[in-house]
């Protein structure tokens, strides 16, 4: 089959590799109908994630059809159309039993936890992929759902919802601010509306992205390049700050922004993947009765989000701005890697 292979820092190739096959009784093999690219893939390609070895097939998002099942698989069948979850989980360890699938203890000695596709094992930017612990790690696609809708359930929508909205404890009537209007920030904007907020404020440096944020459900926008951006945000509240501030960038500066706009008693929810430590002003914050959460998606809301997408209550398909064939994989990377220039959000490769 063909696959996108990491060849070491800065190097990738769309090349012929051996087909995956069943290795464990709980595996399935999926023929991919569509996959996509995530910011994390770009990080790996830059060499920022040294534990990824050259030769690894990248990608952790996708939708496809099961072509083979392991001997221990009874609830899935060849021919099932499924969404691949970015997090794999055994379903029986102490973390899985608490629903913290992101920290599955991985009892079979498989390297890595939770997120393994395109990281510790071969991933989804390929014509076929092997899925371990399949019954806990794929979701059957409801009839009528398109690939463009379904692929958002692999990672982006549950990440924005679980790590942004749920960890941030958004409640009806809240004012929510989301710093960063990239895919995961927009997923937080869109899904925060499930909890009846009073306002959802999108904050970004790019007016084009802010304009798009309104289309995803933001009620207000603030350009953080403005000198008075913080006053603008506070002016959209009762003056005390927002109830929930969600970080969806992954830089020290954007994290600090969230702590500067959250009200006493409020919540900061970090979704961003950070490469550096940040300075936390505990000298000012210790007295504010705030809560700072962070984490990798558990994907335990995928089933629920899938239902709402199928019922057209969440317009997931809006995320897909560009489409490519599998043999245009390198072009897709080119567009996604220069997202601003191409006004790209998510690229669908099918």
Does residue 196 interact with its own copies by CB under 8 A?
Answer: yes
Q: Does 90 bind its own copies (CB under 8 A)?
A: yes
Phi/psi of residue 210, each to 5°?
-65, -40
In whole angstroms, how close is the CB of 66 to its own copies at the nearest point? 15
Sign of CA pseudo-dihedral 21, 122, 14, 36: positive
Rounded CA gap, 138 and 30, in Å?
10
Alpha carbon distances (Å) from 324 to 35, 123, 242, 344, 345: 10, 18, 40, 13, 14
Site for its own copies in 131-190 (CB under 8 A): 135-136, 167, 172-173
Task: Please identify, using beta-carbon distances, which residue of 173 and 225 lies nearer to its own copies.
Answer: 173
φ, ψ of residue 152 to 5 degrees: the values are -70, -20
The nearer residue to its own copies, 65 or 285, going by C-beta atoms, is 285
* CA atoms within 13 Å, Cβ hemisphere of 139: 27
Three-state DSSP class for 165? helix
Q: How many residues bind its own copies (CB under 8 A)?
A: 72
CB of residue 50 to its own copies, shortest distance in Å: 13
Contact predicate 101/73, CB 8 Å: no
Confirm if 251 and 274 have CB atoms less than 8 A apart: yes
Q: Cα dihedral angle (3, 300, 96, 40), rounded to 10 degrees?
A: 40
Torsion, Cα of 245, 248, 250, 253 (10° steps): -50
Residue 134: which of 53, 182, 180, 73 has the closest Cα?
73
Residue 343 DSSP class: T
Q: Which is nearer to its own copies, 34 or 162 (CB)?
A: 162
Among 13, 293, 321, 328, binds its own copies (CB under 8 A): 293
Name the token pair of 32.
Answer: 């991919």
Least distance in Å: CB of 266 to its own copies? 10
Q: C-beta of 168: minimal distance to its own copies in Å? A: 11
**Applying CB under 8 A, does 311 fall inside the site for its own copies?**
yes
For residue 216, give the nearest of 76, 348, 315, 330 by alpha carbon.
315
Tell me how far, at minimum, the Cβ of 99 lies from its own copies, in Å.
Answer: 7
* The one segment of 11-19, 33-41, 209-217, 293-301 that binds its own copies by CB under 8 A: 293-301
CB of 296 to its own copies, least distance (A): 5
Q: Under the criterion CB under 8 A, does residue 71 sit at the interface with its own copies?
A: yes
Query: Any contact of residue 304 with its own copies (CB under 8 A)?
Result: yes
Question: Residue 74, interface with its own copies (CB under 8 A)?
Answer: yes
Residue 31 CB, shortest distance to its own copies, in Å, is 22
Among 11, 286, 325, 338, binds its own copies (CB under 8 A): 286
For residue 11, give both structure tokens.
């190097």
Q: Are the beta carbons of 202 and 221 closer than 8 angstroms?
A: yes
Chain positions 98 to 137 lying near its own copies, rule: CB under 8 A, are: 98-100, 102-103, 107-108, 135-136
308 binds its own copies (CB under 8 A): yes
Residue 21 CB, nearest approach to its own copies (Å) = 17
Site for its own copies in 256-285 (CB under 8 A): 264-265, 270, 272-283, 285
Interface residues for its own copies in 30-69 (CB under 8 A)? none
Under rule CB under 8 A, residue 195 binds its own copies: yes
CB closer to its own copies, 42 vs 294:
294
Q: Which two three-digit tokens encode residue 275? A: 């490469």
User: What does DSSP assign to residue 325?
Assistant: -
CB of 203 vs its own copies, minimal distance in Å: 19
């Amino acid at each position: 089959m063909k696959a996108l292979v990491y060849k070491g820092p800065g190097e990738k190739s769309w090349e012929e590799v051996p087909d995956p096959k069943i290795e464990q009784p709980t595996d399935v093999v999926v023929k991919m109908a569509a996959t996509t690219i995530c910011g994390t893939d770009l990080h790996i390609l830059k060499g920022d994630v040294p534990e990824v070895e050259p030769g690894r097939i990248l990608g952790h998002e996708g939708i496809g059809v099961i072509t083979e099942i392991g001997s221990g698989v009874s609830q899935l069948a060849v021919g099932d159309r499924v969404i691949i979850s970015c997090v794999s989980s055994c379903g029986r360890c102490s973390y899985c039993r608490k629903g913290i699938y992101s920290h599955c203890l991985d009892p079979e000695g498989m390297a890595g936890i939770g997120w393994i596709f395109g990281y510790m094992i071969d991933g989804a930017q390929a014509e076929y992929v092997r899925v371990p612990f399949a019954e806990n790690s794929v979701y059957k696609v409801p009839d009528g759902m398109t690939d463009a809708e379904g692929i958002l359930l692999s990672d982006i929508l549950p990440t924005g919802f679980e790590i942004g909205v749920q960890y941030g404890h958004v409640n009806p009537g809240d004012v929510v601010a989301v710093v960063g209007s990239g895919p995961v920030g927009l997923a937080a904007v869109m899904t925060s509306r499930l909890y009846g907020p009073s306002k959802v404020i999108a904050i970004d440096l790019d007016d084009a992205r802010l304009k798009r944020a309104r289309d995803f459900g933001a009620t207000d926008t603030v350009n953080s390049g403005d000198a008075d951006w913080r006053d603008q945000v506070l002016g959209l509240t009762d003056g005390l700050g927002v109830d929930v501030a969600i970080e969806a960038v992954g830089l020290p500066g954007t994290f600090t922004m969230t702590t500067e706009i959250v009200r006493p008693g409020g919540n900061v929810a970090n979704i961003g993947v950070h490469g550096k430590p940040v300075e936390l002003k505990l000298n000012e914050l210790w007295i504010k009765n705030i809560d700072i959460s962070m984490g990798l998606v558990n994907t335990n809301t995928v089933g629920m989000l899938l239902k709402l997408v199928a019922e057209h209550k969440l317009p997931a398909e809006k995320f897909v701005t560009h489409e490519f064939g599998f043999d245009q994989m390198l072009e897709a990377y080119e567009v996604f890697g220069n997202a601003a220039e191409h006004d790209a959000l998510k690229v669908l490769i099918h």
